[in-house]
């Protein structure tokens, strides 16, 4: 068994949390603390020619920019490397190693780009750098493809070839198998590396498994301070270092890592938490790209069981490809459960025809303007329909249900004596319930598959009511969206995205209300009403 090495990539992989904007003081502090801790290699960020230089960010357009940020800092005996995502930095932006601050460059690439990427690695080696070839999404490689990768590597002889468990999918046994294939075929002078993610809470365990692999070659493992990294995070550098001190006689100074964590890392954890979460576990358990899970969970109409059922329908070849058109179609196909709703619609028309209707939404204004709602009910005596919940300011006659999760939260209340008279109008996408539906309407007939918001529950009910010809429809508790009221299962979505998403949702509902043939009035304030008035 030969050398065991530790690489810190906080300033690079941790940058997904904050768009690499650590601030110059934090960049310097993290760098100096990690250097003082004695790690073998430190990765100082991305080299990406699409980005402008910013002294506060650890993502830089060229190697000259690295000098501007780190040039005065002493690295001692620690190797300093940067990373290039193949295709994001032209070789012309990389100066020869003897003119650069860094000693090596790590190149990440997916298997479909491995031939071109390895050729690029060869060019970087010619420039004098220690080159690390990083195989992204290692679980997408077959054994034959791993062998082919080793053939390419043996021709170029990079400093290291690394296994990158991008989606945190491998367990220790799978990791040992992958390492065995590489170890058997890779030139013994090439270091074998491993980069973990923590979706299954296996980041640390897999890192120690890699370290303990019995081989006559050097092994390198990655970590980040406090496990900093997007989604479920990475193997915690300080824990891996402690393990290496105890089992491999290393002398890493853990207190220096802890100082960096408390002074420069924890503030980012408070703003954008990372670590084990159900969301990332679901993605890893189904071996799919997290974007598929975020799309389904952001719908907020599905139970976790239903999310898993849809994910299982993704073809094997598309699981890690972020094919959002595919997941949209799978969602609609899953939700669409055709039924003969003619009798339900006929019965609802008898109830609602030429009647005053009050539709109650879950917005805070339903309570904040509760007196106004009660006054409206007293004066108009409407038929009251709530959507996916039971309001407190007035007693609904009907509840329109489109959302499995929301309905589950109301089941107990529906069994209470005071709520037993509430009749349920359900969209046909709801699969089952311990309470029979009183009316069922076809899901596919009340959504707009071509719209940017297919299944807005208020719009779905208004489509039902359009078929029932009521006298007038009052809306209460439909406050509209803002960035704070949109919960997104995706840590990459910043405040600008959320504001744009809120604006889009509000505009869609506004246009729908404005163009509806129904006579609609707003009983409580709504962003939809404001927009309509501004346009008139």
- The pLDDT tens digits for 96-122 are 999 999 999 999 999 999 999 999 999
C-alpha 307 chain-centroid distance: 15
Among the listed residues 245, 192, 185, the one whose alpha carbon sits nearest the alpha carbon of residue 218 = 192
**Tokens 């993610």 label which residue?**
197
Among the listed residues 424, 524, 409, the one whose alpha carbon sits nearest the alpha carbon of residue 475 = 524
**Average pLDDT of every residue of the chain:** 90
**pLDDT at residue 338 in the model:** 67
**pLDDT at residue 278 in the model:** 79
HSE-up of 484 (CA within 13 Å, CB side)?
Answer: 2
**pLDDT at residue 535 in the model:** 40
Percent of the chain with pLDDT over 90: 71
Predicted confidence (pLDDT) per residue in 40-66, tens digit: 999 999 999 999 999 999 999 999 999
482 has a pLDDT exceeding 50: yes
**184-206: average pLDDT:** 96
Percent of the chain with pLDDT over 70: 91
Predicted confidence (pLDDT) per residue in 324-365, tens digit: 999 988 988 887 666 788 999 999 999 999 999 999 998 999
Higher-pLDDT residue of 407 and 321 is: 321
451 has a pLDDT exceeding 70: no
* Beta-bridge partners for 357: 383, 473
What is the pLDDT confidence band of residue 90, given thresholds at 50, 70 and 90? very high
531 has a pLDDT exceeding 60: no
- Token duo for residue 286: 């189904």
Residues 6+ apart with CB under 8 A from 255: none
Predicted confidence (pLDDT) per residue in 250-278, tens digit: 999 999 999 999 999 999 998 888 988 77
**Tokens 């491998």 label which residue?**
170
**Tokens 């990655």 label which residue?**
222
**154-166: average pLDDT:** 97
495 has a pLDDT exceeding 90: no
Rounded Cα–Cα distance for residues 482 and 366 (Å): 17
Hey, CA dihedral for 70, 71, 73, 78, is it positive or negative?
A: positive
**What 8-state DSSP symbol labels residue 438?**
S
Higher-pLDDT residue of 382 and 1 is: 382
414 has a pLDDT exceeding 90: no
Higher-pLDDT residue of 173 and 534 is: 173
The backbone torsions φ and ψ at residue 425, rounded to the nearest 5 degrees and listed phi first, read -105, 115
The backbone torsions φ and ψ at residue 490, rounded to the nearest 5 degrees and listed phi first, read -165, 110
39 has a pLDDT exceeding 90: yes
**pLDDT at residue 106 in the model:** 98
**pLDDT at residue 498 in the model:** 63
User: Cβ(40)–Cβ(78) under 8 Å?
Assistant: yes
C-alpha 394 chain-centroid distance: 38
Predicted confidence (pLDDT) per residue in 221-243, tens digit: 999 999 999 888 999 999 999 99
**pLDDT at residue 418 in the model:** 85
């Amino acid at each position: 068994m030969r050398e065991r090495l530790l690489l810190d990539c906080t300033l690079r992989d941790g940058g997904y949390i904050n768009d690499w904007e650590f601030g110059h003081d934090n960049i310097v502090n993290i760098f100096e603390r990690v250097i003082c801790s004695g790690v073998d290699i430190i990765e100082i960020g991305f080299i990406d020619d699409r980005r402008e230089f910013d002294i506060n960010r650890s993502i830089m357009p060229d190697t000259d920019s690295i000098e501007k940020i780190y040039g005065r800092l002493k690295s001692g005996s620690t190797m300093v490397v940067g990373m290039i995502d193949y295709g994001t930095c032209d070789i012309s932006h990389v100066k020869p190693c003897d003119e650069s601050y860094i000693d090596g460059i790590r190149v990440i690439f997916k298997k479909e780009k491995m031939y071109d990427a390895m050729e690029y690695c060869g060019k970087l080696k010619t420039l004098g750098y220690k080159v690390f070839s990083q195989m992204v999404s290692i679980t997408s490689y077959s054994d034959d493809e791993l062998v082919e990768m080793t053939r390419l590597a043996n021709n170029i002889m990079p400093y290291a070839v690394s296994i990158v468990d991008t989606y945190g999918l491998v367990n220790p046994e799978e990791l040992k198998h992958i390492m065995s294939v590489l170890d058997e075929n890779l030139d013994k002078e090439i270091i074998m590396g491993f980069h973990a993610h923590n979706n299954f809470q296996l980041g640390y365990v897999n890192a120690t498994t890699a370290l303990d692999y019995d081989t006559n070659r050097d092994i390198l493992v990655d970590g980040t301070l406090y496990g900093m990294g997007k989604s479920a995070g990475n193997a915690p550098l300080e824990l891996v270092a402690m393990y290496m001190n105890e089992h491999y006689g290393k002398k890493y100074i853990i207190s220096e890592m802890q100082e960096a964590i408390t002074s420069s890392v924890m503030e980012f954890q408070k703003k954008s938490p990372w670590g084990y979460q159900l969301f990332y576990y679901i993605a890893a358990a189904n071996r799919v790209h997290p974007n598929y899970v975020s799309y389904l969970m952001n719908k907020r109409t599905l139970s976790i069981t239903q999310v898993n059922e849809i994910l299982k329908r993704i073809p094997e070849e598309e699981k890690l490809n972020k094919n959002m058109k595919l997941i949209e179609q799978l969602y609609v196909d899953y939700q669409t459960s055709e039924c003969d709703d003619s009798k339900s619609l006929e019965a609802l028309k008898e109830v609602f025809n030429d009647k005053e209707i009050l539709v109650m939404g879950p917005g805070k204004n339903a309570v904040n303007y509760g007196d106004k709602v009660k006054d409206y009910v007293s004066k108009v005596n409407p038929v009251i329909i709530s959507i996916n919940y039971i309001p407190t300011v007035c007693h609904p006659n009907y509840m329109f249900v489109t959302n499995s999760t929301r309905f589950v939260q109301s089941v107990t209340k529906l069994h209470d004596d005071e709520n037993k008279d509430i009749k349920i109008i359900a969209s046909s996408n709801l699969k089952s319930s311990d309470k029979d539906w009183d009316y069922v309407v076809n899901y596919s007939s009340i959504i707009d598959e071509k719209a940017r918001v297919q299944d807005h529950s208020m719009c779905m009910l208004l489509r039902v009511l359009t078929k029932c010809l009521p006298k007038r429809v009052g809306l209460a508790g439909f406050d509209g969206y803002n960035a704070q009221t949109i919960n997104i299962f995706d840590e990459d979505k910043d405040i600008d995205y959320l504001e744009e998403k809120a604006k889009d949702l509000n505009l869609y509902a506004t246009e729908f209300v404005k163009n509806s043939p129904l006579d609609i009035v707003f009983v409580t304030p709504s962003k939809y009403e404001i927009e309509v008035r501004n346009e008139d």
